[in-house]
Chain A
Amino acid sequence: MSSYQLDLFSSLGINILLALSVYCPMATGQLSIGNAGFMAIGAYVSAMLTVHVHLPLFPSLIIGGIAAAIIGVLFGFPALRLKGIFLAMATLCFGEIVRNFFMNFLQTLTGGAYGFRGIGDVPILISWIWGWVALSLVFFFFLSRSRLGLALMATHDDQTVSELIGINIVFLKVAAFGVGAFIGGVAGGLYAHYYLYIEPEFFNVWESIFIALYVIMGGMLTYWGPVLGASIFTLLPEFLRFLQDWRGAFFGVVIIGLMIARPSGLVTREILRIDFWIPYLKRRKP
């Protein structure tokens, strides 16, 4: 693989992980546009551990993920009281708080606004990245086939009914924030050790919005949605390089077109069900 392809596939893997980290709260009906914050926590914590404590990569990634998850759970409780656009605003502010924290505090350890240098090289990191992607997909595969997966779906669709049938929606929503934050934190750690340099600006609002867009575009109702969304957002601009100056504009048009054609995202729950395809298979419905 050329280094261009290597870079592309690494960032694809990281973006898929980030998309899954937003998918988690979204699966319970909570829109988060602050997940770059969790990514930043994972990136800085794991980088500090490998650089200053000389811990190996794996435990550093896990601790970075857990640090993000703890913050995620703490954020999840007040988030319970917020809905829709207000929750989105709160998550956005959260992301900015984290970015400003790493800009202004711990500067002796992280370099602050000058950026964190000296992160050690880890060979064959791309297999680490895709290993985590595979692990996450296995997790979501089993989750979607479990009772808990059904409960997540029910909570997303109708909170009142979910409460009535005895689902503990408080637990589910907070846990979803925590799990999402963990995945985001691990993705941040991988990001830091792949690019060997991080600075607070990497984790700004734009990054958060892009991650949320992966999920909104790809579809927020199944875990395949974020995977597809992240893939399109990462790969399509590369295939459009021949358009030169028109590339950005054309990509924008493609996004608008997709949103018109499939307003609830590319992959919906229905599309994965057999009865969705029956009309296309030219058979009559039973």
Chain B
Amino acid sequence: MLKILNLKAGYGSIQVLRGVSLEIEQGEIVTLIGANGAGKSTLMKTLCGILSPSAGTIEYQGARIDRKSPTARVKQGLVLVPEGRCILQRMTVYENLLMGAYARSDQSAIKTDLENVFSHYPVLAARKDLSANVLSGGEQQMLAIGRALLSRPRLLMLDEPSLGLSPLLVRDIFSIITDLHQSGITIFLVEQNAQKALQLADRGYVMETGMIVMSDTAQNLLGSKELREAYLGG
């Protein structure tokens, strides 16, 4: 579904991604783990089109998209839930969700999707007309995911959804991700919480200083001695 080949990108003269290659098949949950500064978020930005790559290709559903605008990618169902609860703070919960469907034009389907999100996440329904900045951290993350759902994602990319959440909320967010996967959405999950992410995923990639250094099934990665020492706390 998504195929990245030798992707290079960075900011100005600083190169962050130094040739990343990875592949995601339809229906998979794939996770990308790595320490701070490995380039995970830079990869996400390049995939959704905010950052343009300096070399390499991104292929999505059989066609190259690396020169396409973010809008075009959202329309094709390649949707990112950005890091750090990137919601529109000063707009209401309802407006935030509605904005998720901005690139779509099927009004009646948008309405059903809205109702679906509200019935799945009743917290959001209860806070519908409140400003998004009054929501708690977990609710904001839920809202960010809800907004992404309104873009009708086929491949949903989540950038550290557990960042700054209490363990209980992390569990909730991960169960939401499992539900989404079961509803047929392919998931690309970027996490620092390697243990949790690998328990959920089919396959995993490990990134270090802008390159993929390991890739295997999630099972094998969980059992790998190197990885345990580096990311899973021995």
A positions within 8 Å CB-CB of B: 147, 150-151, 153-154, 157-158, 160-161, 163-168, 269-270, 273-275
Known: A150-B102, A166-B70, A167-B99. 12 other contacts (CB 8 A): A150-B98, A151-B99, A153-B90, A154-B88, A164-B86, A165-B99, A165-B151, A166-B71, A166-B151, A167-B71, A273-B92, A275-B131
Q: Given A150-B95, A166-B103, do A161 and B71 touch, yes or no (CB 8 Å)?
A: no
Question: Which single residue of chain A is at the shortest CB-CB distance from B98?
Answer: A150
Give complex CA distance A275, B82 in Å.
29
Q: Chain B residues with Cβ under 8 A from A274's Cβ?
A: 129
Q: Is B130 among interface residues, defined by CB-CB distance under 8 A?
A: yes
Q: Is the CB of A161 within 8 A of B82?
A: yes
Q: Chain A residues with Cβ under 8 A from B70's Cβ?
A: 163-164, 166
**B residues contacting the other copy or chain, number (CB 8 A):** 28
Question: Which single residue of chain B is at the shortest CB-CB distance from A163?
Answer: B70
Nearest chain B CB to A180 CB, angstrom units = 22
Q: Is B80 among interface residues, defined by CB-CB distance under 8 A?
A: yes
Q: Chain A residues with Cβ under 8 A from B49's Cβ?
A: 163
Nearest chain A CB to B199 CB, angstrom units = 28
Q: Which of A153, A167, A168, A275 contacts B91 (CB 8 A)?
A: A153
Question: Which single residue of chain A is at the shortest CB-CB distance from B132?
Answer: A157
Q: Which of B82, B87, B89, B102 contacts A151 (CB 8 A)?
A: B102
Q: Chain A residues with Cβ under 8 A from B50's Cβ?
A: 160, 163-164
Q: Is the CB of B91 within 8 A of A166?
A: no
Q: Is B145 among interface residues, defined by CB-CB distance under 8 A?
A: no
Give complex CA distance A135, B117 in Å.
38
Give complex CA distance A167, B91 in Å.
16
B positions within 8 Å CB-CB of A: 48-50, 69-71, 74-75, 80, 82, 86-92, 95, 98-100, 102-103, 129-131, 147, 151
Q: Is the CB of B102 within 8 A of A160?
A: no
Q: Is the CB of B99 within 8 A of A160?
A: no
20 pairs, A vs B, C-beta closer than 8 Å = A150-B91, A150-B95, A150-B99, A153-B91, A153-B95, A154-B88, A154-B99, A154-B102, A157-B91, A158-B86, A164-B48, A164-B70, A165-B103, A166-B74, A166-B103, A168-B71, A269-B90, A270-B131, A273-B92, A274-B129
Give complex CA distance A150, B86 in Å.
17
5 closest A-B pairs by beta carbon, nearest first, are A166-B103, A166-B74, A166-B71, A163-B70, A161-B86
Nearest chain A CB to B17 CB, angstrom units = 19
Nearest chain B CB to A121 CB, angstrom units = 48
Question: Which single residue of chain A is at the shortest CB-CB distance from B82?
Answer: A164
Question: Which single residue of chain A is at the shortest CB-CB distance from B50?
Answer: A163
Question: Which single residue of chain B is at the shortest CB-CB distance from A286?
Answer: B126
Q: Given A150-B98, A154-B99, A163-B70, do A275 and B89 touch, yes or no (CB 8 Å)?
A: no
Nearest chain A CB to B185 CB, angstrom units = 17
Nearest chain A CB to B157 CB, angstrom units = 10
Give complex CA distance A163, B45 in Å.
11
Question: Which single residue of chain A is at the shortest CB-CB distance from B104?
Answer: A166
Give complex CA distance A147, B97 in Å.
12
Q: Chain B residues with Cβ under 8 A from A273's Cβ?
A: 92, 129, 131
Give complex CA distance A158, B132 in Å.
13
Q: Is the CB of A160 within 8 A of B82?
A: yes
Q: Is the CB of B102 within 8 A of A165?
A: yes
Give complex CA distance A167, B131 in Å.
21
Nearest chain A CB to B194 CB, angstrom units = 25
Q: Is the CB of A165 within 8 A of B89?
A: no
Q: Is the CB of A157 within 8 A of B103?
A: no
Q: Chain B residues with Cβ under 8 A from A275's Cβ?
A: 129-131
Give complex CA distance A85, B100 in Å.
31
Nearest chain A CB to B15 CB, angstrom units = 21
Nearest chain A CB to B122 CB, angstrom units = 14
Q: Which of B75, B87, B131 contacts A161 (CB 8 A)?
A: B87
Nearest chain A CB to B234 CB, angstrom units = 37
Q: Chain A residues with Cβ under 8 A from B87's Cβ?
A: 161
Nearest chain B CB to A163 CB, angstrom units = 5
Question: Which single residue of chain B is at the shortest CB-CB distance from A153?
Answer: B91
Q: Is the CB of B102 within 8 A of A164?
A: no
Q: Which of A158, A166, A270 contacts B102 (CB 8 A)?
A: A166
Q: Chain A residues with Cβ under 8 A from B88's Cβ?
A: 153-154, 157-158, 161
Q: Chain A residues with Cβ under 8 A from B98's Cβ?
A: 147, 150
